Structure 1
Amino acid sequence: MSNRMSAELAEHSDTSPTDQEVATRKASSIELHSLHKRFGADAVALDGVDLSIHAGEFFTLLGPSGCGKTTLLRILAGLEAPDQGTLMVGDKELTEVPPHRRSVNTVFQSYALFPHLSVRDNLAFGLKMRGLPAAERDARVDEIAAFIKLGDLVERRVDQLSGGQRQRIALARALVCEPDVLLLDEPLSALDAGLRSQLQVELQRLQKRLGMTFVFVTHDQDEAMVMSDRIAVLDSGNIQQVGAPSEVYERPANAFVARFMGHDNLFPILARDGLRVQSDLGWLELHKHAGQGDAGDCLLVRPETLEIGDVVPEGYNRLAGVVQERLYRGSRIEYVLEVNGQSLMVVASNLGQQVHQAGDAVTISVCPEDLVTVAA
């Protein structure tokens, strides 16, 4: 039985792991310095990326298609070589090290399993390529199968399994070789919504139990916020912001990050006078921590911070609007309001609240502390 997994299993028993076992579970940090990558003369995939990923964190690369996140992951895996720059994993420079000599494994969106082989043979494949004896391979496969809770699936053929089961097998195959870093390239995108939500939670819990460094690629903002310790938002080969999910969502660095995180309520600032800003919504009071945005920057009004009701709390900003659309979302309702000729999205609870209809005139209030200014 491997030291790393033995230590993990010991954590959940009455026996504590030895110092040697705990040491083997030490995760690896990642340092990227000035990474550049082009495909052809004009296609810039990465434009001088600098990034630090802490040891043992669940780190997500988030952005739209073509932003460079998958190229960055492939460079970490050794499947692409940067044109310039360096890659460090722990204290080792891996920039020119081939994939098979890196302690880095990848879980792909397509699973990349051998459909004609059994689950056991799929899990053992990497160990066999490394020359491990059959008895040790079997022990490691049984160990990871128990750890991932594969049950009796190990003797079945891969082509007899569901999508969710195949994704668990792909994850187990990547973990059985005990890499220092696990890369995940949109591994849940092909699954239905319910299963995807379930595996998001399972994957996050697994990462915390192992203490391994995970680097996850997705274009799904909700998925990134649910699973990640920190997020890097990329656009056109550049990192726009790195931070905890709450920071990136609540305090986006610029208008691109705000829009990509799903914020539709973004209005150009027309003028600023101390803690008051003018936008197409009118003049609004800010809190001192709202940011330094001035004319030409943007005002962000998060839809869940707006309240519809006749009573405006003292110190709150007051707006008047008309309901244009009402979108029922189960536990919440999304309203599209017209305010000063502008569309304003409001998200309201559907629990014990008055439901408004299209055409209703409403009063909206927002606390100055909930308004944020961002760079254009």
Structure 2
Amino acid sequence: MTPSTMAPDTGTREPGTAQARDIDRRDVRQASSIDLRGLHKRFGKTTIALDGVDLTIEAGEFFTLLGPSGCGKTTLLRILAGLEEPDAGSLRIGDRDITDTPPHKRSVNTVFQSYALFPHLSVRDNLAFGLRMQGIPLEQRKAKVAEIADFIQLGDLVERRVDRLSGGQRQRIALARALICEPNVLLLDEPLSALDAGLRGQLQVELQRIQKRLGMTFVFVTHDQDEAMVMSDRIAVLDSGIIQQVGTPSEVYEHPVNAFVARFMGHDNLFAIQRSADNWVDTDLGRLQLDPAQQRSEQQGWLLIRPETLELGGDVPAGYNRLEGIVKERLYRGSRIEYRLEVNGVTLMAVASNLGQRLHAVDDRVTISVCPEDLVRVAA
């Protein structure tokens, strides 16, 4: 049904819709877990979108699929929604195998990047559309629309036409329309990407708040690392149709399992390990001592140094690694200062707080110290 053929919500049931169901707020469906096993998807003869994906998402989790364009995250979301069929593998939501279940029979709703609203209709009629298709009686629809509008803080917008609202207001409406039918799982396909930075940050917090209040399982797709870390309980990082790492935001950021994940999470301080033995490694920066927990059987790989773990100037604490560098560039970032340093002819990035810290000038020679526990070995 297109917007041009859709009539306002007057209480008339569309032919062929399901019989009215009594959905009581006191009997909201419980959140469902998701279990994916051996999912494969290929487009054409050469393009592999998913290459044997195994993944478990816990009930009530805010789970994010993170990765660059073409990594397979949107394909995976569309398979969850039933909009794409896998070439192989299985999909369970809760205790049901829904691999072959059509989209309209899955307890799954999707919030798209484009919002997919009916622009010529009011907010009220947009919100009531899914309930109307389910055959919910008019009075129940009115009550549920009022309830969700209050929950999402839509205020007095319910009588306005959607095409007269801002992007942030439309995003709230799209979210409310997806939630009003109380699905077991809510899928969100980069719904904030078209918004400006300030509004985007505000709605990130709102989405997280709503998810925690509802306890519903959210699966969120984004290519924005900061967005994923702010909102998620856990993150899966994908590349070329393969899940590279699954973990909490702190695990993925502080302990990436390989160089791809480290670079995608924004880490510039990656240095090839030339030699290693016991608790030290040789890199272009020099020889650095590691925490014994970082000992690995493999000799090569990469060393990750997070920029916020470096201390510039002052005395080097006992047991810390000491380096000497020259400040090549200083960038003001408000609450923090970023430094580009030259150490032994290679670049090292450092981040320092802008609160009561001494500022180092370009061309200053500085002492750099880092704790062995903050050095992380990363696989190639």
**C-alpha contact (below 8 Å) 1:60/1:216 kept by paired residues:** yes
- Indicate the residue corresponding to 1:246 in structure 2: 250
Select which of 162, 165, 171 maps to 1:161. 165
SS at match of 2:52: strand
- Indicate the residue corresponding to 1:372 in structure 2: 376
Structure 2: runs of 5 or more not aligned:
1-21
- The number of residues matched between the two structures is 359
Q: Distance in 2 between matches of 1:182 and 1:312?
A: 50
Give the 5 Å matches for 1:1-376: 2-3=23-24, 6-7=25-26, 21=27, 24-292=28-296, 294-376=298-380
**294 and 365 in structure 1: CA distance in 2 versus 1, 3 angstrom threshold:** farther
- Indicate the residue corresponding to 1:18 in structure 2: none
2:142 is matched by which residue type in structure 1? D
Structure 1: runs of 5 or more not aligned:
8-20
Q: CA deviation at 1:2?
A: 4.4
Q: Deviations over 1:228-278 (max 9, x none)?
A: 000000000000000000000011011100000010000010011100111
**C-alpha contact (below 8 Å) 1:2/1:140 kept by paired residues:** no
SS at match of 2:292: coil
Instruction: Tell me which moved more, 73-82 or 354-363.
Output: 354-363
SS at match of 1:97: coil
1:248 is matched by which residue type in structure 2? V
SS at match of 1:141: helix
Q: CA deviation at 1:289?
A: 2.1
2:335 is matched by which residue type in structure 1? S
Q: Distance in 2 between matches of 1:291 and 1:246?
A: 21
Q: Distance in 1 between matches of 2:146 and 2:162?
A: 17
**Runs of 4+ in structure 1 over 3 Å off:** none
**C-alpha contact (below 8 Å) 2:279/2:295 kept by paired residues:** no
- Aligned residues: CA RMSD: 1.1
**C-alpha contact (below 8 Å) 1:276/1:284 kept by paired residues:** yes
Q: Distance in 1 between matches of 2:116 and 2:363?
A: 53
**316 and 293 in structure 1: CA distance in 2 versus 1, 3 angstrom threshold:** farther
Q: CA deviation at 1:290?
A: 2.4
Q: CA deviation at 1:319?
A: 0.3
Q: Name the TM-score, length of structure 1 as normaliser.
A: 0.94
1:135 is matched by which residue type in structure 2? E
Q: CA deviation at 1:296?
A: 2.3
Q: Distance in 1 between matches of 2:321 and 2:32?
A: 48
**C-alpha contact (below 8 Å) 1:63/1:233 kept by paired residues:** yes
Q: Deviations over 1:338-374 (max 9, x none)?
A: 1011100000111111111211111100000100001
Q: Distance in 1 between matches of 2:355 and 2:299?
A: 39
Q: Distance in 2 between matches of 1:33 and 1:292?
A: 30
SS at match of 1:289: helix
Q: CA deviation at 1:310?
A: 2.9
**C-alpha contact (below 8 Å) 1:124/1:141 kept by paired residues:** yes
Q: Distance in 2 between matches of 1:191 and 1:247?
A: 28
2:253 is matched by which residue type in structure 1? Y
Q: CA deviation at 1:199?
A: 0.5
Q: CA deviation at 1:143?
A: 1.1
Q: Distance in 2 between matches of 1:139 and 1:88?
A: 32
2:283 is matched by which residue type in structure 1? S
Q: Deviations over 1:289-344 (max 9, x none)?
A: 22527432000000000010131111100000011111110000000001011100
2:307 is matched by which residue type in structure 1? P
**C-alpha contact (below 8 Å) 1:36/1:85 kept by paired residues:** yes
Q: Distance in 2 between matches of 1:25 and 1:371?
A: 45
